[in-house]
Amino acid sequence: MAIGSAATILAWRARPEPGAKPLVALLVAQSWWSTCIIFKLRAATLDMKLLWANLAWIGVVTIPVAWFFFALEYTGRDEYLRPRYVGALSVIPVLTVVLSLTGQYHDLLYIQPTGTSTNGVMLVEQGGPWFWIIAAYTYILGIFGMIPILGLLTSDAVAFRGQSAALVIGLLAPWVTNILFLAGSLPTAGVDPTPIAFSVSGIVYLAALTRFRLLGTSPAPNKRARQFLFDRMQGGAIVVDANDYVVDLNDSCVEILGVDPREVLGSSAREIIPEYDRLPDDGALPGHLTIGDELSGHPYDVVSTQITNVNGTAIGRVITFHDIGEHLRQQQRLEVLNRVLRHNIRTETNVIYGYISRFEDNENARTVKERALRIEEIGKKGREAIELFDKTRDGTEPVSLDALLTQCLTSVCGTEPAVTVQTKFAHEDVEVAGLLRPVFSNIIENAVEHNTNDDPHVWITTHVEGTNVHVEVADNGPGIAAYELAVLEDGTETPLKHGSGLGLWIVKWGTDIASGDVRFTENDPDGSVVTVEVPVLSQGHPSQVAE
């Protein structure tokens, strides 16, 4: 009783937490049952023994209902804790209490008459038909309440396993005791020892509240959070079973498909998803899907993801819809900008360069020529940036890292033969994202073309570390200006704080798109070191150019 009371007080103090109120009801019911049994045993008359035995049923029938609703609320299924559900599950317990208090008028709860033995213990020889109904009802609620708790024991939520194990033990102790008593396997002279087993439950629940922070940390948000994310995700999502019938869909999907969820649930997915038969079992729909008419329709990327059970058998699919209208519009803008940078700027700079060539070779003419070439170089970098963003969706095609670096070296060093380049590639060639070509090209170009040392050197090394490959490009030039690196670190430019070009931005953007990282450090004694770390997409063959 003392242990149960302590656990009840702790649970009462945690009332705002999920499951606290049902747990309080369960612990109070256990204490009520135990108290009634004590008074029944100490009663001097048969009538008083019967009274306390009948009153004990209030606790007996409250325990399974409280346990069931505790398990639901504790595991995040609180949508069932509504008055109509509580009322429905309380019908049989209330009838049981009524039958216990009116037992002298019927034999539904107990068939055999009661009497007293020489030691004064009341004996009940046989339960009536309703006794077995309420017994079965109690065990059914216990089983259904245990199912979500056992689910936590086998889930990845390690933090809640101690709590869940304590709850299961707290239920099994009185449950097994009661089953053994009803089966006649316990020599208790007709006295139900179940309340005695509540002492075990009390100890376990008290340990759960203090040691495992039961009601202090709760798994209740997990289930609701998953449903919340599914319902509120920006893209549309629809769940279909293995027979292509709609099981669930979120609010975005309802809006995208223009359907009533009450009408489509349980219907064939072919009736509501255009070109459904073109969808792969697991993968993206080729191209995009336009939903709506030609004028007001929206283009969507459609991806089908297979759902499997623990045995790996396909049991359904999740089909997601992502609006790519803005992406296509942005792609169109980039194509126009690319055309301007590729043709218009080049044409205009060529015209300027041609006219300047007719003038005398003086300082002003040379300045104009340099500026014209500078404008053309900016246009070239702009085209590289546009092409880099254009490859974002399909530029992860793996290419040989050694071959990629060799091509970049050949392209850049052909114009700067005076620079000494030393390479030390990893012994095993690996494959990386093909969109990294402008990244390495700009790094090498910066190290080679801007190297003003009397004896310019560039060192390129690669090494594989785990699932990533490190590419290091070092030089003995003047290094990279601090203000250039500061702009990159801030991630934005302003009219008063900006870089001098696009090369370093291309390095940063390309590395980010490839899910990598780039670091800039000083070389000793002069120059800079640029280190790019990117994921290895696949292992290649032994390097043909490694030392």
Transcribe 404-457 into DSSP letters: HHHHHHHHHHTT-TTSEEEEE--SEEEEEEGGGHHHHHHHHHHHHHT---SS-E
Q: Which long-range contacts (CB under 8 A, 24 or more apart) does 148-156 make?
A: 148/71, 148/72, 148/74, 148/75, 148/77, 149/71, 149/74, 149/75, 151/75, 152/75, 152/219
* Of 159-168, 467-476, 484-493, the least confident: 484-493
Position with higher pLDDT, 390 vs 238: 238
Range 422-428 average pLDDT: 88
How would DSSP label each residue in 44-107?
SSHHHHHHHHHHHHHHHHHHHHHHHHHHHHHTT-GGG-SHHHHHHHTHHHHHHHHHHHTGGG-S
Q: Name residue 292's amino acid.
A: G
For the stretch 431-440, pLDDT in tens is: 998 889 889 9
Q: Is 248 left (phi over 0), alpha (psi -120 to 50) or beta?
A: beta
Q: What would the two tokens of residue 241 be? A: 């079973």
Task: Evaluate whether the domain defined by 394-542 bears CATH number 3.30.565.10.
Answer: yes
CA angle (282 as vertex; 279, 283 as ends), nearest 5:
70
Range 495-524 average pLDDT: 78
What pLDDT shows up at residue 340?
Answer: 62
- Which residues have C-beta within 8 Å of that of residue 268, sequence separation ≥ 6? 244, 245, 246
Position with higher pLDDT, 534 vs 3: 534
59 close to 32: Cβ distance less than 8 angstroms: yes
Residue 498 reports pLDDT greater than 50:
no
* Of 224-238, 241-255, 494-508, the least confident: 494-508
Q: What is the pTM of this model?
A: 0.52
What pLDDT shows up at residue 1?
Answer: 55
Residue 150 reports pLDDT greater than 60:
yes
What pLDDT shows up at residue 93?
Answer: 94
Instruction: Single out the residue of 406, 430, 394, 416 nearest to residue 533, CA to CA.
Output: 430
Using CA atoms, how far apart are residues 181 and 174, in angstroms rounded to an integer?
10
Residue 182 reports pLDDT greater than 70:
yes
Quote the mean pLDDT of the chain.
Answer: 80
152 close to 161: Cβ distance less than 8 angstroms: yes
273 close to 321: Cβ distance less than 8 angstroms: no
CATH architecture of the domain with range 233-323? 2-Layer Sandwich (3.30)
* Of 159-163, 507-511, 517-521, the least confident: 159-163
Q: To 10 degrees, what angle do helices 194-210 and 161-182 make?
A: 180
Residue 240 reports pLDDT greater than 80:
yes
Give the pLDDT band of residue 492 (cuts 50, 70, 90): low
Range 83-99 average pLDDT: 93
**Winning range, highest mean pLDDT, from 209-223, 370-384, 435-449:** 435-449
* Of 45-59, 78-92, 376-390, 431-445, the least confident: 376-390
* Of 6-20, 45-59, 283-297, 396-410, the least confident: 6-20
What pLDDT shows up at residue 329?
Answer: 74
